[in-house]
Structure 1
Amino acid sequence: MQHHDTASQSTPPPRRRRRRLRGSVVVLVLGAVMFTVGAVALNPDGSAAPQPASTSPAPVLAPGSIEALQARVTRLPKEPRAWAALGMAYVQQGRTTADPATYARAEKALRTSLSVQAEDNTDAEIAMGALAAARHDFPSALDWALKATGDDPYSAAAHGVLADAYTQLGRYDEAEAAVQRMTDLRPDAASLARASYVFELKGDTGQARDLMRRSLTAAATTGDSAFARAVLASLALQDGDAQAALTEAQIGLRAAPADSALLEARARAHEALGHTAEAVADYRAAIAIAPLPHYLLGLGELEQSLGHRDRAEAQYALLRAQERIREAAGTAADTDAILFEADHGNPRQAVSMAVEALRNRPFLAVHDACAWALHQAGRNTEALEQADLALSLGTHSALYHYHRAAIHQALGHPDAARHDLTQALRQPGFHPLHEPAARALLQRIDTTE
């Protein structure tokens, strides 16, 4: 996808009248119920995933292009857009490598861009917002996004970062308005993907799927297409159709065989189908490309469910090492780290991590992680409040429903627990450890009543 050069617009785009989405009809101007995927693109469980290139303001980067951008800034050290492009390239690299040092390089490049041109440097402002979001500093991401949209109200990318920040801060109405504006400006793969996510979060996977297929049709790069296929696989899993999920992932991998998100999507589909050896192989391949925490946790818990404790511990050791790096950097924990600590470490420490994370990211996935940490620490009344917040938009997350079911059962609410367990088990194999526990709990409830 070509870079959107807002400077070339001599007149602002015409205002379009807002319209609603009806049935499966997709219109270019999306209605008032828009939402967003997040500055760091999110899986339905809220975990980080590599982001499609089209959502960022920099040009699509070919292999080795970081070196080309480095050469460019060497030739043009006073060119602010060159430094901004390099900074965004580092942000993208950091998202897929889970290497915090890459974010430091991104910040250095972006600060240089801003030192060369302090005002009206929208490219650098957008990239700084994306960097802050990647570091889970969403208040700072919002500040940068507001500055970028103020400097250039017609930048679709700026409104995308603004929507991302509002979303992660739990300011959903404002996020909807920003996504609407982004779509008005540029109804492309990125804005359609954000539109898809609104329906996913509200539990309307049919509309989410329709919109994501249109995002796939609009995809201008292999990265865009791979992202769409991974999301379509995830949506199929949410609907309990593991075979369809497997098909989506396999189609995507034919075009992008080294895409880690697609490998992880295929691993989850294989896991749901009972193909554990294939699932393990795909998780390992994904981790070899990008050792992201949710890949490590997924493989570790799958190995644990298979009785391979030593192999599971190897993944958990990597997670603990990543957690030490995060603590040293002083950044808030992601949901994967909180859930890992709750299930495999110290639940009270997990509660502290969740409370800290909520300060800068009161988003659905963090409410869920906090709920589970509180439950594991025996604080079920508080846990239920957080679990209700996690499901407040109607999200069809099997894990969220299982978490709330366990909390309801602990509080002596068997009917509510049964309802949530039924919802969770609509997705067979949703978790290698919790899915069997969910079935056992439902059987126990049914037997005792």
Structure 2
Amino acid sequence: MENDAVENEQGVRPRFPRVRRRVLLASVAGCAVLGGLLTLLPWGSDGPESSEPAPGAQALTAVTTGVTAALPDLAVLIDERERQLRADPKNAASWAVLGAAYVEQGRRTSDAANFPKAERALRRSLKVRADNAEAQDGMAALANARRDYRAARTWSEAALKTDRKRWTTYPQLIEAQTGLGDYKAAKRALDRLVELRKGPEVLAWAAGVYRDRGYREDAAAALSDAAAGAQAPAERASYLERAGQLAFERGDLDVALRYFQEAVRLDPDQRAALAGQGRTLAALGRTTEALNAYRAAFAKQPNPEYALELGELYASLGLGQAARVQYDSLRERAARAAAGGVDAELVLGRFEADHGAPESAVRRLRAEWRRQPGIPVADALGWALHRAGQDKEALRFARVATDQHAGGGVRSALYVYHLGMIERKLQMSGAARRHLQEALRISPHFSPTRVPLAEQALRELGEPSVKDVPDMGVEPEPKSEPKSDTAPEQKPRKKPEKKPERKPEKRKPE
């Protein structure tokens, strides 16, 4: 099992909380994990019938427990709190709720203009009452939304100092530690969260940790249970969207598409799921539908990531001018995000590496690595260095991104593809061939632009040469080229200089 392959530095497999497994209805033997789990999802209903709370109350429950809130309900909640605060400006709790609602609205719409408003409300709450865990929580969520993971960790720790048993702080701490590349600390925060709280939102956070560690089966089961237990359509849709991402990463395209479609049905404002549809439809070769899905997602949630993906899809179709329009839009949206305090360096670095100035990408991503050395940054920096012609240093970062002992337990076809292409440039033919084949095994359709390049590289590498096969069981002398971390370790004999003298002597009696 994949779980058994991941061990900590003492050689002991980390013990994550086990996920309760539901019976899989109508599953068939040999089906993919996510395919079987699809039967658990509430395709025909929005959950158990109950009297619906008022929109503002529903959004209040969502923002105070850290789950996804519906956009119309958020607008109602914000209006209610603003009116209340005009009458009672010294209400610290209401300022904290207003700030948290602005954070959620900015996150869901990709409109960073909400974040300065959120910060003003949260700081006003802290000014009214300094020892205010609700506002400290909100500041941690704001920092995570801005990709400022150091600040998010600081605010999370402050909230826990104020209230050690405040369970809603731990998801913010998990996200911050993950963004900083401290996966052991993220696991410890998850363990504490599970001790304090049970419920679908906790299962969803556990799924993220499992996925980052390479525990795909556990991640899929946790997301299935989270979706089944979610109370509100927007919350359930967010869990289905994550399940769709996981299915896409493992190459289960039909399963991923069903998850994304159901998420959009439950919550039409779930634009991440609409972008997921575009990604999946493109991989299935349904390009017209893919373009429509991407355009609709970007129109309502102008995320720079969507602009990059849509631009690359246009480029793969030979529509260079349309691709350039999307790349210009990416730069514009990244600038707006930066004006709202969002760190957009990762997406800009990835864009510059492939479509702009690789040297600029290296500068951006080196600084990002110093600030917050997570696995996505390691992969992006390694690729930028490769594109800038610095392949030996690139190999080091590509190995960090794919080495489970360094935290890169996630099985990403893109990361392994990057490693294989870097090894190919360094003339490490065997390692390059293995990793490019592995990338296509993980997900044969992971990128409309990169899959053809991987296939072309494999054709050029060809089959392993018979010259590389040891003759009559005698190991060849080690080559001067560097070795892949994932290649089997070849230990030289203790006295290699005596081999040529002893070999003829052993054969004489024969």
TM-score, normalised via structure 1 length: 0.85
Q: Do the aligned partners of 1:54 and 1:189 also contact (CA within 8 Å) in 2?
A: no
Which consecutive unaligned segments of at least 5 residues does structure 2 have? 1-13, 23-60, 466-510
Q: Do the aligned partners of 2:234 and 2:266 also contact (CA within 8 Å) in 1?
A: no
Aligned to 1:446: 462
Aligned to 1:89: 101
Aligned to 2:116: 104
Q: Do the aligned partners of 1:367 and 1:387 also contact (CA within 8 Å) in 2?
A: yes
Aligned to 2:130: 118
Aligned to 2:319: 308
Q: Are positions 1:80 and 2:92 aligned together?
A: yes
CA apart distance, 1:57: 4.0
How far apart are the structure 2 equivalents of 1:254 and 1:70?
Answer: 31
Aligned to 1:204: 215
How high is the sequence identity, in percent, across the aligned residues? Answer: 37
Greater relative CO (CA pairs within 8 A, separation 6+): 1
Q: Are positions 1:254 and 2:265 aligned together?
A: yes
Aligned to 1:36: none
One-letter code aligned to 2:410: T
CA apart distance, 1:335: 2.5
Q: Which moved more, 1:209-218 or 1:94-103?
A: 94-103
How far apart are the structure 2 equivalents of 1:20 and 1:117?
Answer: 37
One-letter code aligned to 1:222: P
Aligned to 2:417: 402
How do 1:397-436 and structure 2 match up within 5 A? 397-426=412-441, 427-436=443-452
Aligned to 2:79: 67
Deviations 1:123-178 (A, max 9, x none): 10001011112222211111110010111111111122122212211222111111
How far apart are the structure 1 equivalents of 2:124 and 2:63?
Answer: 23
How do 1:235-246 and structure 2 match up within 5 A? 235-246=246-257
**Rg larger for:** 2
Q: Specify whether residues 126 and 330 from structure 1 end up closer, same or farther in structure 2 by C-alpha distance, changes over 3 A only.
A: closer
One-letter code aligned to 2:424: Q
How far apart are the structure 2 equivalents of 1:342 and 1:96?
Answer: 27
Q: Do the aligned partners of 1:136 and 1:360 also contact (CA within 8 Å) in 2?
A: no
Q: Are positions 1:379 and 2:390 aligned together?
A: yes
Which consecutive unaligned segments of at least 5 residues does structure 1 have? 1-17, 27-52
Q: Are positions 1:147 and 2:158 aligned together?
A: yes
Q: Do the aligned partners of 1:246 and 1:266 also contact (CA within 8 Å) in 2?
A: yes
Deviations 1:61-94 (A, max 9, x none): 6142222221122122111110111111111122
CA apart distance, 1:439: 1.0
Aligned to 1:15: none
How far apart are the structure 2 equivalents of 1:58 and 1:74?
Answer: 26
Deviations 1:193-226 (A, max 9, x none): 1211222122232221011101112212222211
CA apart distance, 1:331: 5.6
CA apart distance, 1:359: 2.2
How far apart are the structure 2 equivalents of 1:134 and 1:232?
Answer: 21
Identify the match of residue 190 of structure 2 among 176, 179, 203: 179
Aligned to 1:50: none
How far apart are the structure 2 equivalents of 1:397 and 1:199?
Answer: 14
How far apart are the structure 2 equivalents of 1:58 and 1:425?
Answer: 36
Q: Do the aligned partners of 2:365 and 2:377 also contact (CA within 8 Å) in 1?
A: yes
Q: Are positions 1:159 and 2:170 aligned together?
A: yes
In structure 1, the residue corresponding to 2:411 is in which secondary structure?
coil
Aligned to 2:206: 195
Q: Specify whether residues 137 and 56 from structure 1 end up closer, same or farther in structure 2 by C-alpha distance, changes over 3 A only.
A: farther
Aligned to 1:324: 335
Q: Which moved more, 1:181-190 or 1:279-288?
A: 181-190
In structure 1, the residue corresponding to 2:257 is in which secondary structure?
helix
How far apart are the structure 1 equivalents of 2:352 and 2:338?
Answer: 14
One-letter code aligned to 1:84: A
How far apart are the structure 2 equivalents of 1:340 and 1:387?
Answer: 17
In structure 2, the residue corresponding to 1:425 is in which secondary structure?
helix
Q: Do the aligned partners of 1:226 and 1:253 also contact (CA within 8 Å) in 2?
A: yes
How far apart are the structure 1 equivalents of 2:18 and 2:159?
Answer: 32
Count of equivalent residues? 405
